[in-house]
Amino acid sequence: MKWIVCQGYETMCQKAGEQFKAFLSQKPDGVLGLATGSSPLGLYDYFARQTAAGAMDFSRVTTFNLDEYVPMAEDHPQSYRYFMDHNLFSRINIDPGNTFVPKGEETLSCSEYDQMIRKRGGIDLQLLGVGHNGHIGFNEPGERLIAGTHITKLAPSTLSANARFFGEGERVPDKAVTMGMATIMSAKEILVLIGGRDKHPVVNALLDDGVTTHCPATFLKLHPRVTIYCDKEAYEG
């Protein structure tokens, strides 16, 4: 794993953005894996600014998002589809038909999502945030992790962390559909954003030598091409 420790959140997003920019200049029709949450917001601002300046071109890019709440209608303001449309897709020159977010209806076929990724040649560069409990996507800590895209129950700590995105009295859905560990690990390259002192315990788990289902992010140590962009607060605690 390669670590890039930055002074603050803005520098971290700038540096990560430069990696995406360099990647797309090499492969303009690349397949990106994307995340929601607060970690990527600065990076998505960078993409929007670069697109406006004509310095990044998403016209041939395909994207696959990690996860979505279940049950969740696509047009619901708390859906990850809505989040992506609002925070990124409407601000860059991407073809909406090439943006994929797992569907939050219980009837969906999860294996179909993995097949769609494979059909597009697999994910070239996967963006990840990391939960306080070490989850990636919504692969929550436990005795057992799941390989493919699947429906999962969210951990109580994830529900309380995500409550900040919901209004008062609004219930955070307690299930989600998420890419599985093998789906994520089969990306050719992975870029992780970790910011804030509260993520220091996860940074420690990534810095030591252990790999454990109780901190799913530690599986990233088994991947040959992972870069972690981290701010000083997260790194030093």
CB of 195 vs ligand F6R, minimal distance in Å: 8
**Among the listed residues 184, 179, 176, 183, the one whose alpha carbon sits nearest the alpha carbon of residue 151:** 176
Q: Supply angle C-alpha 132, 43, 65, rounded to 5.
A: 70
CA distance 102 to 74: 10
Size of interface with ligand F6R, in residues (CB under 6 A) = 14
Nearer to ligand F6R by C-beta: 39 or 63?
39
Nearer to ligand F6R by C-beta: 62 or 139?
139
CA distances from 79 to 71, 85, 107, 111 (A): 10, 10, 17, 21
Nearer to ligand F6R by C-beta: 60 or 148?
148
CB of 68 vs ligand F6R, minimal distance in Å: 9
Nearer to ligand F6R by C-beta: 14 or 60?
14
Nearer to ligand F6R by C-beta: 94 or 101?
101
Catalytic, 208? Answer: no
* Residue from 16, 24, 33, 36 in contact with ligand F6R (CB under 6 A): 36
Q: Supply angle C-alpha 167, 63, 42, rounded to 5.
A: 50
| 16 sits near ligand F6R (criterion: CB under 6 A) | no
CA distance 76 to 80: 9
Q: Show the binding pattern over residues 56-95: x = contacts ligand F6R (CB under 6 A), - = does not.
A: ----------xx----------------------------
CA distance 103 to 87: 18
One-letter amino acid at 114 equals D
Catalytic, 140? Answer: yes
- Is 2 in a helix, a strand, or coil? strand
- When CB distances to ligand F6R are compared, the closest residue is 129
Where on the phi/psi map is residue 203: left (φ > 0), alpha (ψ -120 to 50), or beta? alpha
Catalytic, 67? Answer: yes
Q: Which of residues 125-184 bind ligand F6R (CB under 6 A)?
A: 129-131, 135-138
CA distance 57 to 10: 22
Question: Which of the residues are catalytic?
Answer: 67, 133, 135, 140
Applying CB under 6 A, which residues contact ligand F6R?
35-39, 66-67, 129-131, 135-138
